[in-house]
Copies of this chain bind each other. A is one copy, B any other.
Amino acid sequence: MDIHAVAKLAHVSIATVSRTINHVPTVNAKLAKRVWEAIRELNYYPNTQARALVSGRSRLLGLIVSEITNPFFPELIQGFEDVAVENGYEILIGSTNYDPERMQRCIRRMVERNAEGVAVMTFGIEQPLLDQLADRNVPLVFVDVAPNRPAISVLKVDYHHGIRQGVQHLAALGHRRIGFVSGPLRLHSAQSRLAAFKKALGECGIAVEETLIFEGDHTMEGGMAAAQKMLAGKDLPTAIMCSNDMLAIGVLHELSRSGLRVPDDISIIGFDDIHMAAMMIPPLTSIQMSRTDLASAAVSALRGHLEGGQKREHRIDTRLVVRESTGFPRGTMSHLRGRRETVPAAVEPA
């Protein structure tokens, strides 16, 4: 069931079969028809490794994410896969779990399998590890920040836009003490989000209070831990912004365990707007960063490098999605409670 069988059945040479399969235009229509019929009849599939070997093109794109169990990433992977497959590429997934050793193995696998391009969506680079890829001139895409070399693109996320919308939303509701649960600050994206938050506070005329800023780790457990620390402090914030939705879910959970109500006692805003956010109780106000945009920008950046185009920088927007985890701060405008104009009415306790 190789190309020779097809050639024999179609009474042509193997070269003609190959050309037919690859849609080389010089092949005679009549022969091509015979070839396609033979292919169908034999149920023939070209051998990918042989193709890759001789052509030097694996048609494989790598995607390295930090944590496949964070729902943000499956949504991203889905989009990435769809766009990649659409363009005739297969994808290779690696999940690092923030572990440099796993990262190392992922990269090794990408190199071994000859991935033609790799998207590193871990939101934080481990520079030395990636040299193996960069040294081989494998096109790369990063998020936020990237070494400045040829064949490397960056997806610049405009954290500031969405986060400012979030802070403005809180400020408009009357919040002045706004806490922040950050991601691990060694991650560039976590730093950017925190910086955007501080900047937005300034723009709203609110002073930054370092005691209201907690470092988490982008997991639900991290959110719980941060909330516990926060609750242990004496002067609670009236609203908390989180560096991602998983943190927000953890915070929400911990507040609920402590008997605090969201948004009546404390408002919460997440980041990413994962699908699950809308299902939380209360549904989580969050800052959306489109996974499909991110995915298609990543693929198109890689394709750019591979197929001649370029455009080294892509911009990704963020925007606030208001749901029911944000409301007026406790004690203010309480007579209006339940009649908020900016958010749909939450389910109030009986």
Contact = CB atoms under 8 A, between A and B. Distances in A.
A336 interface: no
Interface in A243-283: 249-250, 252-253, 256-259, 275-276, 279-281, 283
Given A53-B50, A93-B93, A114-B48, A249 B105 contact: no
Contact of A250 (B53, B74, B105, B279): B279
The A interface is mostly helix, strand or loop, or mixed, namely helix
Contacts of A52: 49
Given A50-B53, A253-B279, A349 B347 contact: no
A46 B112 contact: yes
Interface residues of A, number: 52
Contacts of A220: 275-276, 279
A47 interface: yes
A281 B259 contact: no
Contacts of A93: 77, 81, 91, 93
Interface of A: 43, 45-50, 52-53, 58, 68-69, 71, 73-75, 77-78, 81, 85, 90-93, 95, 105, 108-109, 111-114, 132, 135, 220, 249-250, 252-253, 256-259, 275-276, 279-281, 283, 347, 349-350
